[in-house]
Structure 1
């Protein structure tokens, strides 16, 4: 159990992380702070530079057994934080407005508990992953050659959930977070004088046609495997002048599906629509994929482990609000291990994620750490050898 002094120190550390946010792929100082906090806990090994800026701490027992990985995220958002608490962001234009500072602190709290009482068998890995917000971090971690040496059998993560009662857990089998993919579309024609637009090739009619055509690709809801959605997130036409008819347009659309294989079909349909419209309007087109997130699918056997821990701790649990349309790159870890992501309620009046007013509730630190510790000890504490999930 965490002591009062633990909670004071961990809260201060969380607030320090909150003051110095770093965005995806730039988390060097955050990673250094995490590594420096881990070393005094005496893990078997601390690995840095994991998948970029990631940090992994391994707590190994003297007996063979499963490897259980718990994951948190290092990155913040390129969103300015509103003036608020004394520990508000000191970095202009950036803020820990998704709670990753709290997720990291929960893993450090788990590290303290493991340092005081070693698991009876197997290994626990605390993985501090970079670049979750742009969807690249989990893939980079799994692609790191050292990940094959860790080879977790089980992987668990949590995400705080504003709007859910404080401390309540949201949990479900199967889909928990949808797949999504950002598509940046550039339409190129030819500029002209605004007085003689007929001498150029404007992408304006094509842009006006594409916005409703892509949006119309949506159908169903996230409770159905057939769910898909296309959201226009940005559009720009030409330059902000009055004398030039535009020759270029930029369109960003986010595609969303309930299953990974459905994403390929939706992307192909969007590609065909964009290509057809561009050709009919005499434009050239280029498309790039960004922020590519796999679906997060909870394995039933991993969910059962989480549910058993919640029952033992008396933590309330609900499936309300799940699955979510929002994406999470945690799904990549489930390709090679039994995995489960659960939501931890941040309170019904907590500002939403990515809101300039958001701040992670420190009261969640001991709750999240207790749940993770119970999962680890149920799997590795020697009471029973858990069967490895099918791969």
Structure 2
């Protein structure tokens, strides 16, 4: 159990993390701070630079058994924080506005508990993952050759979820978070004088066709296996001038499906629409993919382990608001492990994630740590 002095120190640590946010792929200093804090807990081993700036602390009992992984995220967001808190971001245009500072601190709290009372068998992995916000981090960690040495049979994560009562946990077996992919479509023609547009090749007509055509590929609806949603998030044509008919255009479309197997289909269809429009209007077209998130799907056995832990602890739980359209790259850890994501409520009227005035509530730290510890001891003794 965490002491009052633990909670004071952990709260101060979380607020220090909050002051110095680093966005996806840039988490070098955050990783150093995490490593220094982990060293004090005397884990069996600390792996650094996993899949980028990832850090994994191994607490090995020395006895054969399962490997259980608990994940937190290192990265912040490229959003300017609006706050009067003394621990507000000191880096303009960047902020821990999704609660990853709190998630890291919950994992360190678990590390304190494990260092004082090790598990009876098997291993616990505290995984501090980079680049969650752009969907690249979990894939990079799993692809790192060193991850094979710590590959877990079980994996768990907690994400705070505003809109749910304080301390309430939402989870379920099955789909938790949708798959999503950011598709960038670049169209290239030829400029001309605005007085003689026929001398050039403008992408404007292709763009005007593609916006409704892409949107029609997926209009949302029920979150079942047929769910598809295409959202146009950005369009740019030419330069802001009146004298030149444009040559270039770019369209950003976010593709969203319930499960991974649906993503390939909608992506193929979106690219085919763009290729057809480009061909008809004499344009070149190239594609690029960003923010590629796998679906996060909870294993039934792992979900039951988490539910049992919450029943033991007397923590209120349910499946309200699930599954979610928003994406989360924790699902990658579930490709080869029994995995479960839990959504921990900070309050019904709490500021939403990614809002400029969001701040992780420190009183969630002991709740998250207690859930993680109960899961670890139920599986490993």
TM-score category of the 2 structures, normalised to the smaller one: over 0.9
Partner of 2:3: 3
Distance 1:68 1:105 in 2: 18
Structure 2 residues without counterparts, runs of 5 or longer: none
Give SS of 2:310's match: helix
Q: Residue 294 of structure 2 corresponds to which residue in structure 1? A: 294
In structure 2, the residue matched to 1:87 is: 87
Counterpart in the other structure of 2:262: 262
CA distance in 1, matches of 2:230, 2:274: 13
Verify the 8 A CA contact 1:222 1:324 in the aligned structure 2: no
Shift of 1:268: 0.8
SS of the residue 1:97 aligns to: coil
Say yes or no: does 1:117 pair with 2:117: yes
2:219·2:230 contact (CA, 8 Å) conserved in 1?
Answer: no
Cα distance per residue 1:330-370 (max 9 Å; x no partner)? 11111111000010001111111111111111111000000
Within 2, Cα distance between the matches of 1:69 and 1:150? 9
Task: Report the more deviating stretch, 165-174 or 193-202.
Answer: 193-202
In the TM superposition, what whole-angstrom CA distance separates every residue of 1:47-83 from its partner, at most 9, and x where no partner exists? 1111110110011113211010000000011111113
**1:135 partnered with 2:135:** yes
CA contact (8 A) 2:182 2:290 kept: yes
> CA separation in 1, counterparts of 2:7 and 2:171?
26
Please say if 1:217 is aligned against 2:221: no
Matches within 5 A, 1:118-267: 118-221=118-221, 223-267=223-267
Q: What secondary structure, in the 3-state scheme, does the structure 2 residue paired with 1:79 have?
A: coil
1:241-273 deviations in Å (ceiling 9; x for gaps): 121111100110010101111111111111111
Query: CA RMSD of the aligned region, Å?
Result: 0.9
What stretches of structure 1 move > 4 A for 4+ residues in a row? none
Per mean C-alpha deviation after superposition, the further-off stretch among 227-236 and 191-200 is 191-200
* CA distance, structure 2, for counterparts of residue 356 and residue 208 of structure 1: 33
Post-superposition CA distance 1:305-340 (Å, at most 9, x none)? 000000000101121110001111111111111000
Residue 362 of structure 1 is matched in structure 2 by 362
Q: Deviations over 1:93-139 (max 9, x none)?
A: 11111110000000000000101101011010000000011111001
Cross-structure match for 2:273:
273
Do residues 103 (structure 1) and 100 (structure 2) align? no
TM-score, normalisation: structure 1: 0.96
Quote the residue 1:56 is aligned against: 56
TM-score of the pair, normalised by structure 2: 0.99
Following superposition, the deviation at residue 200 of structure 1 comes to 1.2
* 8 Å CA contact 2:178, 2:294 repeated in 1: yes
Mapped contact 2:21–2:75 kept (Cα < 8 A): yes
Determine if the alignment matches structure 1 residue 12 to structure 2 residue 12. yes
CA distance in 2: counterparts of 1:244 and 1:219, whole angstroms: 35
Task: For 2:222 and 2:323, locate their aligned partners in 1 and report how far apart those are by CA, in whole Å.
Answer: 7
Distance change >3 Å, CA 353–CA 300, structure 1 → 2:
same
Residue in 2 aligned with 1:375?
375
Give the aligned partner of residue 70 of structure 2. 70
Within 1, Cα distance between the matches of 2:260 and 2:327?
12
Q: CA deviation at 1:219?
A: 4.2
Shift of 1:289: 1.0
> Which deviates more from structure 2 when the two are superposed, residues 220-229 or residues 122-131?
220-229
Q: Does 1:308 align with 2:308?
A: yes
Q: Distance in 1 between matches of 2:179 and 2:28?
A: 28
**Paired residue secondary structure (1:106):** helix
CA distance in 1, matches of 2:223, 2:111: 36
C-alpha deviation, 1:223, in angstroms: 2.6
Question: How many residues are paired up?
Answer: 381
Classify the secondary structure of the residue corresponding to 2:126.
Answer: strand
Maintained 8 Å contact 1:162/1:347: yes
Cα distance in 1, alignment partners of residues 363 and 63 from structure 2: 35
